[in-house]
């Protein structure tokens, strides 16, 4: 009995110390902006989370070196959400304990939607670099997007194919277990009804079966499709291109911003991607000075060529800076007041960034910018004029 | 004298429930005085869900003695059916607690029904085979949820297994389950108090079952199936009973989980085999058949990765090392002998002093 009581007291003491130990009071009235970021830095989607983390860090260093936002320096912290909606809430709460007053994130749509439900209660200003689902912004006044929303990408792609007469028979291969992919797919199909091409096959795969695409390709081939639309990420797309080549099936391939990065896939022959078209807001080897500076700085700091997630995050920091300057925001404002100021400013500002010129935001929080169509020519992304 | 003598079982059970209640009181006081961090406040409801999951799986693994790797599947069933119900009736039933109780009943009963249906053929298998079949079942549930589309409009419900366009809804329609995007906008009806009440209920159900006539029958099946059969115990009935109750409680955890999240998706992370194994880890580390151990292990192992956030990218590495160390400490024969020696020396010294 004595031992039991002893162990019980020990457990209680331990629990109490654990709970008390974490009770961090959030700093108020500080003299720095605290920007928190959330994204997956471990697990399958770590590439995207790490890209966002690094690029935002790079931008914040530049901003601080140039004197900060409205004369205030910026602190930065990034938390891992493991690509799990539940864990993303933990990350959000951790950042709140740290004293975050502005937020960039989340990197993925599902996590972004889950966090937005909480952040809208706090009226925390939230700018997602790459959470493209409309659920992220719908009904949440505090959430804004840097990337195109999924419907806009799907509609944009269908319009582009139709208007430029790229194909008459289109096949689609998409990932039904992925929010991004199925979101674009649905809008593409809806928009395609009013376009001068016909969808001859639409085949899905899931996260559990993303290594062999011969069935989907065979169906597309049998249906006589002359263009295959790939609203998916580049890792699967590289497999599709390789397997289509082995089959001897050579349609046109058309993708969205998820295909950006396909030339960097290990053990993938870039010549297979020759002629692939994609609608993406960013290409690492674009000629303009801002992009080139960003790419060389990023490469120097992190040893990699940045992808479009990185570019979105880099833009996000400068968008926050522009909005905060417009709103004349200071870190002394409470989180909710700061949120209201930033939200009003966001609907007024126009920002030129790496992922688009003259970006502006509508009442819902979605971005207005022109999509760019790129084509892979001689192993490089080049803009189609 | 007789009335004063409390049985050892009852005393043991009271301690387990006491720990939960004391924990609840401490956390409520800390929360009211504003000392509790946002992170911990956000973790309270998931913690309750994980405790219920661990206790319910312990019923299958520890008491019935069958290895089930599909527990997250039952949780998934409970989560989706109840979130579906709450989303549909959000405008009709405006009293949140009432809606939650109904959702709870629906979630747990559906999970129980599925558990019963799965259990009938599956419980004829033993050991590895049962583990493999339950693993497959969990994956099937998760994948079905990923291709299921249900919408509601003025004409009623529409179902599809293809995409949300083929629901052919009226313009006023609302997609409730949107395939891989799951259910968005579940009302946040669960809170810590409800969670703790559910934990206590779960503990009462499980502990009472263990100490009842039925519970002894279930344990006799675990200990020696042939002997149990020879004394006239209805094997299938008791196996199914334990399995169904375990599934229903996992459904309860799912209801709690889904009503805490605005965006519910069936990913490999939350309803796949990863989660099933995670729950099994709670059970194994807490001690197979030890209900109190499951509660404590679930709390520690859920808090640990969050409290290690300060270590950035190394936290998952540290977390796995901690798991290995704990496993060795609990189960390695040499370690058990060492612990016994230390315990003996400790108690002897005490006596001398």
Mean pLDDT for chain A?
A: 86
* pLDDT (mean) for A299-315: 91
Domain boundaries, chain B: 44-352
* pLDDT (mean) for A378-385: 76
pLDDT at residue A112, as a whole number? 92
pLDDT of A26 over the 50 cut: no
pLDDT at residue A283, as a whole number? 76
Which site among B36, B49, B165, B180 would you substitute to test the A interface, given the most A Cβ atoms closer than 10 Å to its Cβ? B180
pLDDT at residue B161, as a whole number? 82
Nearest residue, CB atoms, B181 vs list A26, A93, A182: A182
Q: Quick check: B262 and A118 CB within 8 A?
A: yes
Q: Containing H/E element for B197? A: helix B192-210
Tell whether A8 lies on the interface with B, counting CB pairs under 8 A.
yes
pLDDT at residue A3, as a whole number? 55
Task: Pick the residue from chain A with its C-alpha nearest to B8.
Answer: A1
pLDDT at residue A10, as a whole number? 54
pLDDT at residue B352, as a whole number? 55
Which residues of chain B does A93 touch, with a Cβ-Cβ cutoff of 8 Å?
37-43
Nearest residue, CB atoms, A113 vs list B179, B184, B313: B184
Tell whether A114 lies on the interface with B, counting CB pairs under 8 A.
yes
ipTM value, please give it.
0.86
pTM: predicted TM-score of the whole model, two decimal places = 0.86
Q: Quick check: B42 and A116 CB within 8 A?
A: no
Nearest residue, CB atoms, A84 vs list B39, B41, B269: B269
Which residues of chain B does A43 touch, with a Cβ-Cβ cutoff of 8 Å?
269
pLDDT digits (tens, 9 = 90+) for B138-168: 999 998 988 888 988 888 888 888 777 778 7
Residues in chain B, pLDDT under 70:
1-5, 348-353
Which residues of chain B does A177 touch, with a Cβ-Cβ cutoff of 8 Å?
146, 180
pLDDT at residue B270, as a whole number? 87
Q: Quick check: A206 and B40 CB within 8 A?
A: no
Q: Quick check: B180 and A176 CB within 8 A?
A: yes
pLDDT at residue B213, as a whole number? 93
- Position A20 confidence tier, pLDDT thresholds 50, 70, 90: very low
Q: Quick check: B268 and A22 CB within 8 A?
A: no
- Residues near A95 by Cβ (< 8 Å), separated by ≥ 6? A36, A38, A77, A79, A103
* pLDDT (mean) for A188-216: 88
pLDDT digits (tens, 9 = 90+) for A167-190: 899 999 998 877 788 888 988 998
Tell whether A373 lies on the interface with B, counting CB pairs under 8 A.
no
pLDDT of A369 over the 90 cut: no
pLDDT at residue B329, as a whole number? 84
Which residues of chain B does A89 touch, with a Cβ-Cβ cutoff of 8 Å?
42, 261
Task: Pick the residue from chain A with its C-alpha nearest to B22.
Answer: A12
pLDDT at residue A36, as a whole number? 94
Which site among A11, A22, A335 would you substitute to test the B interface, given the most B Cβ atoms closer than 10 Å to its Cβ? A22
Which residues of chain A does B27 touch, with a Cβ-Cβ cutoff of 8 Å?
19
List, in order of start, the domains of chain A with CATH numbers: 32-148+289-368 (3.40.50.2300), 151-280 (3.40.50.2300)
* pLDDT (mean) for A223-238: 90
Mean pLDDT for chain B?
A: 89
């Amino acid at each position: 009995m004595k031992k039991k009581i002893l162990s019980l007291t020990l457990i209680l003491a331990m629990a109490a110390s654990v709970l008390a130990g974490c009770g961090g009071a959030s700093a108020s009235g500080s003299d720095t902006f605290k920007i928190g970021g959330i994204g997956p830095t471990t697990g399958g989607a770590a590439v995207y989370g790490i890209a966002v983390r690094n690029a935002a860090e790079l931008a914040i260093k530049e901003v601080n070196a140039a004197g900060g936002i409205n004369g205030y320096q910026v602190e930065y912290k990034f938390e891992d959400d493991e690509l799990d909606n539940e864990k993303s809430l933990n990350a959000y709460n951790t950042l709140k304990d740290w004293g975050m007053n502005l937020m960039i994130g989340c990197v993925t749509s599902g996590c972004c939607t889950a966090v937005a439900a909480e952040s809208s209660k706090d009226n925390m200003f939230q700018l997602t670099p790459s959470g493209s689902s409309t659920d992220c912004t719908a009904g949440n006044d505090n959430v804004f997007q840097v990337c195109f929303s999924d419907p806009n990408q799907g509609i944009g792609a269908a319009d582009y194919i139709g208007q430029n007469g790229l194909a008459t028979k289109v096949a689609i291969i998409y990932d039904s277990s992925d929010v991004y992919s199925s979101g674009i797919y649905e809008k593409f199909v809806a928009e395609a009804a009013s376009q001068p091409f016909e969808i001859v096959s639409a085949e899905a795969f899931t996260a559990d079966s993303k290594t062999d695409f011969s069935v989907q390709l065979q169906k597309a081939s049998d249906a006589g499709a002359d263009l295959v639309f790939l609203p998916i990420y580049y890792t699967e797309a590289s497999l599709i291109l390789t397997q289509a080549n082995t089959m001897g099936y050579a349609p046109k391939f058309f993708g969205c911003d998820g295909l950006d990065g396909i030339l960097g896939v290990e053990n993938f022959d870039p010549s297979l991607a020759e002629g692939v078209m994609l609608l993406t807001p960013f290409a690492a080897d674009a000629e303009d000075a801002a992009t080139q500076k960003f790419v060389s700085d990023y490469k120097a700091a992190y040893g990699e060529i940045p992808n479009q997630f990185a570019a979105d995050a880099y833009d996000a920091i400068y968008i926050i800076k522009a909005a905060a300057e417009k709103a004349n925001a200071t870190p002394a404002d409470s989180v909710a007041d700061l949120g209201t100021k930033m939200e009003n400013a966001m609907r007024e500002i126009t920002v030129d960034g790496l992922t688009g010129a003259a970006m502006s935001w509508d009442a819902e929080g979605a971005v207005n910018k022109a999509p760019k169509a790129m084509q892979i020519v001689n192993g490089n992304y080049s803009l189609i004029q | 004298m007789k009335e004063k003598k409390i049985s050892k079982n009852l005393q043991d059970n009271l301690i387990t429930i006491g720990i939960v209640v004391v924990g609840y009181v401490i956390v409520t006081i800390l929360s009211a005085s504003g000392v509790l961090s946002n992170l911990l406040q956000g973790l309270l409801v998931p913690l309750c869900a994980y405790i219920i999951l661990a206790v319910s799986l312990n019923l299958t693994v520890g008491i019935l003695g069958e290895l089930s790797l599909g527990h997250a599947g039952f949780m998934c069933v409970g989560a989706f059916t109840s979130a579906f119900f709450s989303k549909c009736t959000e405008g009709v039933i405006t009293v949140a607690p009432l809606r939650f109780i109904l959702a709870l009943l629906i979630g747990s009963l559906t999970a129980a029904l599925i558990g019963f249906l799965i259990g009938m053929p599956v419980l004829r298998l033993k050991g590895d085979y049962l583990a493999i079949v339950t693993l497959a079942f969990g994956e099937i549930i998760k994948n079905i949820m990923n291709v299921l589309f249900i919408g509601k409009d003025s004409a009623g419900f529409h179902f599809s297994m293809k995409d949300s366009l083929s629901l052919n809804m009226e313009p006023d329609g609302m997609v409730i389950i949107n395939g891989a995007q799951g259910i968005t906008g579940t009302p946040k009806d669960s809170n810590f108090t409800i969670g703790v009440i559910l934990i206590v209920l779960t503990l009462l159900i499980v502990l009472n079952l263990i100490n009842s006539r039925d519970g002894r029958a279930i344990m006799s099946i675990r200990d020696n199936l042939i002997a149990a059969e020879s004394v006239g115990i209805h094997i299938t009935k008791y196996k199914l009973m334990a399995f169904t109750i375990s599934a229903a409680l996992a459904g309860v955890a799912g209801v709690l989980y889904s009503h805490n999240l605005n965006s519910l998706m069936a990913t490999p992370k939350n309803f796949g085999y990863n989660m099933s194994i995670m729950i099994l880890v709670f059970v194994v580390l807490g001690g197979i058949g030890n209900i109190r151990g499951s509660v404590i292990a679930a709390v520690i192992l859920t808090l640990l990765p969050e409290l290690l956030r300060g270590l950035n990218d190394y936290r998952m590495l540290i977390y796995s090392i901690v798991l290995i160390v704990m496993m060795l400490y609990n189960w390695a024969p040499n370690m058990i002998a060492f612990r016994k020696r230390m315990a003996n020396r400790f108690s002897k010294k005490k006596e001398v002093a």
